[in-house]
Structure 1
Amino acid sequence: MERLYESAKSQLNTVRTTRNGKMGHVAAALVTDRGNVYTGVALDLPSSIGFCAEHSAIASMVTAGEYKIDKIIAVYETGDILPPCGRCRELINQVGEDNYHCEIGLPDDRTVRLDELLPERWDAKYFI
């Protein structure tokens, strides 16, 4: 997870927009089952426009034709690790069937599987 942390951290580049937005203040990195690393940054803009860093990294992965995440981590501009929000957890889950078991980097050098953070899947009756 240290390698992913450093990959994410290297992408941090906080920019404030003229309309009180913020971009690049959170970065994420993930590694796929093929060993490829994808990164992305958050865009936090007015009028609820934007997306999380995890979304950006996942979009890069999907653009490259990959869907299975082995590990993922998000880093705030201070260097602190952030757990994925609920929307990110659900996106990770839905992008690839096996992602429910990927490892998530958490604060204090902890890792957990997504199924521990998203224990009561809304679609469990149909897909587990």
Structure 2
Amino acid sequence: MITITNLELINKAKSVVKPKKVKHGFTISDCGCALVTDNGNVYLGVSVDTCSSMGFCAEHSAIASMITGGEYKIKKIVAVLEDGKVLPPCGRCREFMYQIDSDNLETDVIVGENKVVKLRELLPYAWDENF
């Protein structure tokens, strides 16, 4: 299996960022996400920001693509802006990754150009942990 470096994954995420203004001053595709699965496949996604809370994060887009490909376990994930700034996933995305597969608590989340943490560290109390 080919190993993808953090910088390569960051560059893949950045490659899909193509901001476009849409209705009501919102912007789509201003954040890109790249993830690599435990099988070594890479999936990409972009953010869609719209009015009425109908949009979604780049991580959701990439994860949906991964699920479409029949995979559920994320080995490593990153989201970036057009300038390459790395963004940690929001709380909704953190929980979303966990809800897709509880093994994703061991996902390496790139939160800075030279900083990686496990999803478990970003989501210490999963929503259904005590049910």
TM-score normalised to structure 1 length: 0.94
Q: Which residue in 2 is equivalent to 1:29?
A: 34
TM-superposed deviation, 1:58: 0.1
Q: 2:79·2:86 contact (CA, 8 Å) conserved in 1? A: yes
Matched to 2:14, the amino acid is K
Q: Does 1:61 align with 2:66?
A: yes
Q: Which residue in 2 is equivalent to 1:74?
A: 79
TM-superposed deviation, 1:108: 4.2
Gaps of 5+ in 1: none
Selected match of 1:121 from 122, 126, 130: 126
Q: Secondary structure at the match of 2:98?
A: helix
Q: 2:29·2:47 contact (CA, 8 Å) conserved in 1? A: yes
Aligned residue-pair number:
126
Q: Which residue in 1 is equivalent to 2:43?
A: 38
The runs of at least 4 aligned residues of structure 1 exceeding 3 Å deviation read none
Gaps of 5+ in 2: 1-5
> What is the alpha-carbon root mean square deviation over aligned residues?
1.0
Identical-residue share of aligned pairs (%):
49
In 1, Cα distance between the equivalents of 2:61 and 2:130? 29
Residues 85-124 of structure 1 aligned to structure 2 (within 5 Å): 85-124=90-129
Matched to 1:22, the amino acid is T
Q: Does 1:18 align with 2:42?
A: no
In 2, Cα distance between the equivalents of 1:64 and 1:10? 20
Q: 2:7·2:113 contact (CA, 8 Å) conserved in 1? A: no
Q: Secondary structure at the match of 1:84?
A: coil
In 2, Cα distance between the equivalents of 1:100 and 1:55? 16
Instruction: String of CA shifts for 1:15-74, please: whole Å, max 9, x gaps.
Output: 001321101100000000000000000000111111000000000000010000000000
TM-score normalised to structure 2 length: 0.92
